[in-house]
Amino acid sequence: MASISGVYSSSSSSSSSALRHRRLLLPLKPIPSSRRAAAIPIFPLGRPPHLRPPRSIADLPRSPLTSSSASLPPEKKTLGIEKDPIKLWRRYVDWLYQHKELGLFLDVSRIAFTDEFLTEMEPRLQTAFHAMQELEKGAIANPDEGRMVGHYWLRDPKRAPNSFLRLQIENTLDAICNFADDVISAKIKPPSSPAGRFTQILSVGIGGSALGPQFVAEALAPDNPPLKIRFIDNTDPAGIDHQIAQLGPELASTLVIVISKSGGTPETRNGLLEVQKAFREAGLDFSKQGVAITQQNSLLDNAARIEGWLARFPMFDWVGGRTSEMSAVGLLPAALQACSSLIISRCQGGINIKEMLVGASLMDEANRTTVVRNNPAALLALCWYWASDGVGSKDMVVLPYKDSLLLFSRYLQQLVMESLGKEFDLDGNRVNQGITVYGNKGSTDQHAYIQQLREGVHNFFVTFIEVLRDRPPGHDWELEPGVTCGDYLFGMLQGTRSALYVNDRESITVTVQEVTPRSVGALVALYERAVGIYACLININAYHQPGVEAGKKAAGDVLALQKRVLSILNEASCKEPVEPLTLDEIAERCHAPEQIEMIYKIIAHMAANDRALIAEGNCGSPRSIKAFLGECNVDELYD
């Protein structure tokens, strides 16, 4: 088995005259020296010891406005939203951003920020630009975890802070391409499939290990891909059973990709165990069809190496899950949905991962300018700050008017909310920041919640995603004279945008020429950078997720309590006669009277799954319950 470092192995509402909400430009304070000291670099495994450690962005100088002694800026007010069509047209032309090479446009004219606001924000934006520059050079941008943040290097390895990391990235990309080519061409094939090649992909992962690949597959996979992809992205037994059942006899020709950075994510581990059980029951050797994407020497990596899985690919310490689409996490599943010359006759298009990387790289380069109106990510961050008062006071509604981009709102939900939803800022102040993201697709939204968006509570701003190309050239036709099906979709988007703005609902529009690997890569990169810049504006760490870890710990506590409950019930069930126990008795014997509500929920769940019996009472009247297991497991009495 080759090293994981890069080579795979076969083994609110208001009228137009109303005063706008005040914008409080909260001062950014310098990071105390005690916090700077905590930002200790953690180097990737195998990094040469002579390389100079990068410094933390917490050490960067702050602009005058961000000093701890700076007073709050004056209250900002404006006389409603501009409605004059000629002035609006001028604003549209003045603020329209275009990236010619990507065929991407950004329209922020329907966000009513003022010149005064822009002037006030300029120093903060320049500070944010400098922080992003340092991040790309390898500074510790995640001080809480002492980590670099390097997802930008994935699409431009030359920007990696040292040659070791550059080679890791380049070698991994080569390995992904070679492995995908070998699988699609059947050079690598399953041992027991009558088809003589892999026909399905089953991707097991959760969060950033699933949302990115799911979005890309929905957006870009050809109608008849060489390998059709399915996802197990939860620990729901019925959902897992459904995916496995859908494979049927094609389980024998299914390539299973297991994605977990730590290798110990419970949902992913559970999915893997369920899939391995299905393989055993079908008489198949899982190791000959399993691929791991994980950190070197993780639990998953070690298991895959020892068991001789088909291949292993690396996840890097300096890439977070929600920014991992341009790593092996996203690129391998995408590459396996590309088209081989052997099946090109029935496979049109496919996912060109190098074009995705080019699109992301071009967008990254555009976002490096320090001229705000020429920086699309900065424009997005500026609009988010204006629309939500810099404190998340309004939600972001994402409406892609293209079926293939339906999952973009789910992808952005994690990217934005997990990055920006933080209780404390970098100085330790409780700020409870974040922006709520939700969305559907156009014009389905027309028949769902647009009614509330236009006339209900004004607690949101909208992001429209527009795609200019309706169908491939030569495939369009007119439903009626001068009007195609796509014209109706275009009309719905523009009509909704206008109807919302007439009622003072602000919006952003992102337009791409068509949905291609390059434009999808650009969209991913655009929002990754916008999140990073906005996080700098509000002084938070966008690259950790302590709330997620707290939830995992709480879940672990529940399962530990369940084991104690099972032990108590087993002991009572082994008595002669059987001793059904009340909830109070179970809680007392577990030495957890304060956990009686959770004990009730555990008993109710086990009873619903025939793992405990209710001898008396019912779950609708908790105090009446007496429960036991129904059988005695003698062995557990002596464990």
**28: nearest Cα among 119, 128, 129:** 128
Q: Is the pLDDT of residue 484 over 90?
A: yes
Confidence of residue 306 (pLDDT cuts 50, 70, 90): very high
Q: How far is CA 227 from CA 199, 275, 554, in A?
A: 5, 18, 38
What pLDDT band is residue 638 in, cutting at 50, 70 and 90?
A: very low
Exactly one of 134, 136, 325, 418 is catalytic; which is it?
418
- Burial of 564 from C-beta contacts in 10 A (0-12 / 13-18 / 19+): middle
- Check residues 201 and 446 and name the one with the higher pLDDT: 201
Q: Helices 408-420 and 517-537: crossing angle, nearest 10°?
A: 20
Give the pLDDT mean for 439-445. 92
CA 207 – CA 418 distance, rounded (Å): 10
Q: How confident is the model at residue 639 (pLDDT cuts 50, 70, 90)?
A: low
**Among the options 100, 158, 447, 475, which is catalytic?**
447
Lowest-confidence segment of 55-59, 341-345, 572-576 by average pLDDT: 341-345
Give the amino acid at 250: E
* Higher local confidence (pLDDT), 350 or 72: 350
Task: Reduce the secondary structure of 547-562 to three states and give it as a string.
Answer: HHHHHHHHHHHHHHHH
pLDDT in tens, 11-29: 433 333 333 343 334 444 3
Under DSSP, is residue 113 helix (H, G, I), strand (E, B) or coil? Answer: coil
Count of Cβ atoms closer than 10 Å to residue 24 Cβ: 13
Q: Which pTM value belongs to this model?
A: 0.87
Lateral strand order in the sheet of 581-582: 581-582, 626-628, 613-616
Q: Provide CB contacts within 8 A for 145, sequence distance 6+.
A: 42, 543, 544
Q: Which two tokens stand for residue 50?
A: 């002579």
Provide the residue type at 235 as one letter. Answer: T
Query: Between the CA of residue 546 and those of 483, 550, 601, 615, what are the distances in Å?
Result: 52, 6, 26, 42
The confidence score (pLDDT) of residue 224 equals 87
Cα of 20 vs its chain's centroid, Å: 33
Helix (H) or strand (E) holding 616: strand 613-616
Strand partners, 18: none
Is the pLDDT score of 75 beyond 70? no
Kindly list the strands in the beta sheet with 97-99, ordered across the sheet, starting from the edge strand earlier in the chain. Answer: 97-99, 104-107, 507-512, 460-467, 395-400, 437-439
Q: Position of tokens 């890569």?
A: 521
pLDDT at 6 over 80: no
Instruction: Fill in the amino acid letter for 23.
Output: R
Contacts of 363 by beta carbon, 8 Å cutoff, 6+ apart: 99, 102, 104, 376, 521, 522, 525, 526, 529
Percent of the chain residues past pLDDT 90, beyond the cut: 79
- Distance (Å, rounded) from C-alpha 6 to C-alpha 222? 28
- Name the band, by pLDDT with cuts 50, 70 and 90, for residue 60: low
Whether residue 209 is predicted with pLDDT greater than 50 in this model: the reply is yes
Task: Give the pLDDT score at 25.
Answer: 43
Looking at per-residue confidence, does 386 or 61 come out higher? 386
330's tokens: 């996203």
- Above pLDDT 70, what percent of the chain? 85
Q: How confident is the model at residue 56 (pLDDT cuts 50, 70, 90)?
A: low
Which of 262, 284, 286 has its CA nearest to residue 272? 286
Cα angle, residue 111 at apex, residues 106 and 116 outer, rounded to 5°: 110
Query: What confidence tens digit (pLDDT) does each residue in 251-268 have?
Result: 999 999 999 998 889 999
Q: Give tens-digit pLDDT for 509-550.
A: 999 999 999 999 999 999 999 999 999 999 999 999 999 889
Look at the alpha carbons of 60, 64, 65, 69 in this order and tell me if their dihedral is positive or negative. positive
Write out the DSSP string of 304-351.
Answer: HHHHT-SEEEE--TTS-GGG-TTSHHHHHHHHTTS--TTSGGG--S--
Q: Taking a C-beta distance cutoff of 8 angstroms, is the pair 200, 252 a contact? A: no
- State mean pLDDT over 617-621: 90
605 among known catalytic residues? no
Upper half-sphere CA count for residue 389 (Cβ side, 13 Å): 15
> Does residue 552 carry a catalytic annotation?
yes
Q: How far apart are CA 394 and CA 52, in angstroms?
A: 43
Q: Inform me whether the pLDDT recorded for 65 exceeds 90.
A: no
Q: Quick check: 345 pLDDT over 90?
A: no
Q: Of 38 and 315, which is predicted with more confidence? A: 315
Tokens of 74: 């004056």
Give the Cα separation of 573 and 613 in Å (integer): 10
Identify which has the larger pLDDT, 46 or 310: 310
Cα–Cα distance, 5 to 313 (Å, whole number): 7
**Contact call for residues 227 and 201 (beta carbons, < 8 A):** yes
Question: Of 238-247, 471-480, 523-532, which range is least confident?
Answer: 471-480
Distance CA 602, CA 581 (A): 14
pLDDT digits (tens, 9 = 90+) for 391-424: 999 999 999 999 999 999 999 999 999 999 999 9
Bigger pLDDT: 341 vs 290? 290
pLDDT in tens, 145-183: 899 999 999 999 999 999 999 999 999 999 999 999 999
Please state, in angstroms and rounded to a whole number, the distance separating the CA atoms of residues 416 and 530.
Answer: 9
Q: Which listed residue (354, 552, 601, 626) is catalytic?
A: 552
| 461 vs 438: CA distance, rounded Å | 11
pLDDT of 381 above 70: yes
Round the CA-based radius of gyration of the chain to a whole number and report it: 27
Per-residue model confidence (pLDDT) at position 30: 38
Sign of the four-CA dihedral 118, 120, 126, 129: negative
Contacts 24+ apart (CB under 8 A), 69-76: 70/27, 71/27, 72/24, 72/25, 72/26, 72/27, 73/24, 73/25, 73/120, 75/22, 75/23, 76/20, 76/22, 76/23, 76/114, 76/116, 76/117, 76/120
